[in-house]
């Protein structure tokens, strides 16, 4: 059984979803790559920010 | 004089060959197949790798494959799973996937499988749009 950590799962999820979003939501390869990176950073960045927020609220 | 709308329509008519929904259906049944039919090899390969990778990781995490519908959430889960096309059917036939979620990683796996299906539907629609000329 594959048991990734919560963060590893987030990174894998963000990677796959960003690839699809990049390809389907933009027309040119250059814009696809830029949008894919943008989505990846937003996915992972928002997960990190929300994690810290929940950590601080729970204290 | 050709307006942008007319240009799109003209491009669409020019690019349509054969059954218009073939890339949509092929892309749904086999991830990336819609783009392969349109000779978009790079995009198709990336889509196939992403969808199949996500689905396989979901199965490897012992994610749940929805089979019966007991409430609305199950129905939504089943709809997402069906987006995987033949991957879902094959997994059901082979008895892969868990019936019940017992550990946290299995819950992640269930989401991976559902989202892989939803992303596959988006990709299939993208292939259809490429075929009709709505997208270049």
Tell me the whole-structure pTM to 2 decimals: 0.88
In chain A, which residues have their Cβ closer than 8 Å to the Cβ of B126?
A: 23-24
CA dist B10 and B132 (Å) reads 10
Q: Please, how many CA atoms are within 13 Å of residue B81, restricted to the half-sphere of its CB?
A: 24
Q: Which of B47, B108, B136 sits opposite A23 (nearest CB)?
A: B47
A16 vs B contacts (CB less than 8 Å): 50-51, 53-54, 116, 119
- pLDDT at position B8: 47
DSSP string, B27-78: HHHSTTHHHHHTT-HHHHHHHHHHHHHHHHHHHHTTPBPP-S-SSHHHHHHH
Q: Among residues B1, B3, B114, B109, which one has the least CA distance to residue B58?
A: B109
B14-45 confidence digits (pLDDT tens): 445 688 999 999 999 999 999 999 999 999 99
Query: Across the interface, do B46 and A23 touch by the CB < 8 Å criterion?
Result: yes
Per-residue pLDDT reduced to its tens digit, A3-59: 999 999 999 999 999 999 999 999 999 999 999 999 999 999 999 999 999 999 998
Partners of residue A6 in chain B, C-beta under 8 Å: 104, 108
Mean confidence (pLDDT) of chain B: 88
Answer yes or no: do B43 and A23 touch at CB < 8 A. yes
Confidence of residue B12 (pLDDT cuts 50, 70, 90): very low
Distance in angstroms (rounded) separating the CA atoms of residues B18 and B13: 11
The values of phi and psi at residue B98, to 5°, are -90, 155
């Amino acid at each position: 059984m594959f048991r990734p950590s919560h963060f590893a799962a987030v990174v894998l999820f963000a990677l796959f979803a960003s690839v699809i979003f990049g390809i389907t939501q933009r027309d040119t390869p250059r814009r696809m790559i830029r949008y894919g990176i943008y989505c990846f950073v937003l996915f992972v960045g928002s997960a990190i920010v929300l994690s810290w927020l929940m950590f601080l609220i729970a204290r | 004089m050709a307006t942008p709308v007319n240009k799109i329509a003209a491009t669409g008519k020019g690019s349509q060959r054969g059954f218009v929904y073939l890339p949509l259906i092929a892309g749904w049944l086999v991830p990336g197949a819609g783009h392969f039919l349109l000779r978009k090899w790079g995009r198709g390969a990336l889509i196939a790798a992403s969808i199949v990778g996500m689905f396989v990781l979901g199965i490897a995490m012992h994610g749940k494959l929805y089979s019966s519908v007991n409430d609305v959430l199950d129905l939504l889960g089943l709809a997402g799973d069906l987006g995987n096309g033949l991957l879902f059917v094959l997994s059901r036939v082979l008895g892969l996937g868990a019936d019940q979620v017992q550990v946290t990683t299995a819950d992640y796996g269930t989401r991976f499988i559902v989202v892989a299906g939803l992303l596959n539907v988006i990709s299939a629609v993208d292939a259809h749009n490429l075929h009709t000329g709505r997208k270049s």
